[in-house]
């Protein structure tokens, strides 16, 4: 029998992943899209309890854009699971 907490986490990860994917696909700048994708993956790993470093902000991605990406994805994540 599956652990109810594991099932809840898997459902939350699926929902977050779907929403984050749509968000990342909507970013037209390739550098920003890659950063957003890496940031979303980092959030997923951390939600699973895996400690990974924050992705490096690439050159060419300006501060306000990186902040917007981080805050948007972290806001999404808060709706599905709590991060530590």
Calculate the CA dihedral of residues 34, 80, 9, 35 and round it to 10 degrees: 10
Alpha helices in the chain (DSSP H): 4-25, 30-47, 63-80
Which pLDDT tens digit goes with each residue over 11-60? 999 999 999 999 999 999 999 999 999 999 999 999 999 999 999 999 98
What is this structure's pTM? 0.89
């Amino acid at each position: 029998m599956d652990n109810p907490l594991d099932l809840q986490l898997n459902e939350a990860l699926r929902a977050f992943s779907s929403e984050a994917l749509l968000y990342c696909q909507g970013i037209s700048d390739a550098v920003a899209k890659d950063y957003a994708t890496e940031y979303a993956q980092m959030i997923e790993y951390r939600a699973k309890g895996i400690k990974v470093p924050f992705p490096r902000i690439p050159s060419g991605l300006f501060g306000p854009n990186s902040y917007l990406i981080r805050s948007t994805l972290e806001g999404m994540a808060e709706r599905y699971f709590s991060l530590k």
